[in-house]
Amino acid sequence: MNKKWILAATALLVLLSGGYYYFFAGSKKEKFVYQQLNVKRGNLNVFVRATGSVQPKNRLEIKPPIAGRIESVLVEEGNVVSKGKMLAWMSSTERAALLDAARAKGANELKEWEDLYKPTPVLAPLRGLVIANNIRPGQTVTQQDILYVLSDSLIVQAKVDETDLSRIKKGQKAMLTIDSFPGEAIRGEVSHIAYEAVTENNVTVYTVDINPLSHPEFLRSGMSSTVDFIFAEEKDVLVVPNESVFQENGKNFVWVKKGKDSEKYVPQEVTLGISDDSYTHLKSGLEEGEVFYLKKQIQKQKPAANSGGPFSTPRIPRR
């Protein structure tokens, strides 16, 4: 008998526990809070992001006109030189040998040979920036050695996925952020879009050239960069946070109070424009400074069958 009573009591306890959960815990309503916000003005930039690197637009390697020895170096990396600018002086192999022999005989002998046998200049063939200097005085060089590397300007080359290429046009604005100088954004402009694709890591990409509209001193060839191609831009427009907007039946809504002193919240239809990562352009439905609300769920509950109205699930619009 005792065993039967124990089994019966256990079964009753299980039934009571299940009943409590069903009628109390299971039927507990979802709880929300409404955060008050105001319609404000702001700027929106919608962009395609890609990675790139700083490269010379036109790279020119300068080699010595003769084999011999470098006597003096007149420019260094970072210098801007004009066409015809003298970059270095050098001696041919024969002149270097004669000067060394004359130097052993004394200063007067050396000066006589220096006046008689002039050095050979190394000249810049175009105006540009010296991005590499590979020589020092006294260095022996051949006609195959690269003395300097010049660039007429520096550009950023970005690799753009083929799925994003339709949103990039020649002349389009871009923002360039050099990875080693994240706080120094540079405005740029698309100058060229490659016609031939390349495959990198099994992804088809196109090379896009961007001309920086300014060339800060820190800019160096080979630097890594993040490129934001701006394909939509609006300034001083009404904006609302993306998370405050939800959709139902193809329309957009935000939450407002039914009356000024009411505690009841109702959906207000709004018309929207472009969106960036944080905000969406509010075209109509609310005025600047007007109050609306962000609905936040504060307690996760098991949804009850056939519950919730047409505005029960907030969602961020995908635009």
| Domain segments of the chain as ranges | 47-56+153-234, 59-151
Please provide the CATH number assigned to the domain covering 47-56+153-234.
2.40.30.170
**Amino acid code (one letter) for 211:** N
Phi and psi for 242 in degrees, rounded to 5?
A: -55, -40
List the structure tokens of 130. Answer: 């010296």
Strand partners, 281: 239
pLDDT tens, position by position, 60-104: 999 999 999 999 999 999 899 999 999 999 999 999 999 999 999
The angle formed by the CA atoms of residues 66, 70 and 72, to the nearest 5 degrees, is 130
List the structure tokens of 161. Answer: 């996925």
Class of domain 59-151: mainly beta
Examine the pLDDT at 22 and tell me if it is beyond 70.
Answer: no
Q: What is the pTM of this model?
A: 0.58
**Identical fold between 47-56+153-234 and 59-151:** no
Q: What is the mean pLDDT of the segment spanning 189-215?
A: 93
pLDDT classification of 9: cutoffs 50, 70, 90 = low
Q: What is the mean pLDDT of the segment spanning 31-42?
A: 90
Q: Which of 118-127, 228-237, 261-270 has the highest mean pLDDT?
A: 118-127
Mean pLDDT score across all residues of the chain = 85
pLDDT classification of 31: cutoffs 50, 70, 90 = confident
Examine the pLDDT at 319 and tell me if it is beyond 50.
Answer: no
Q: What is the mean pLDDT of the segment spanning 17-40?
A: 67
Looking at residue 158, its pLDDT comes to 96
pLDDT tens, position by position, 253-309: 999 998 777 788 999 999 999 888 889 999 999 999 999 999 988 755 555 555 444
Q: Which residues contact 255 (CB under 8 A, 6 or more apart)?
A: 34, 244, 265, 266, 267, 268, 292, 293, 294, 295
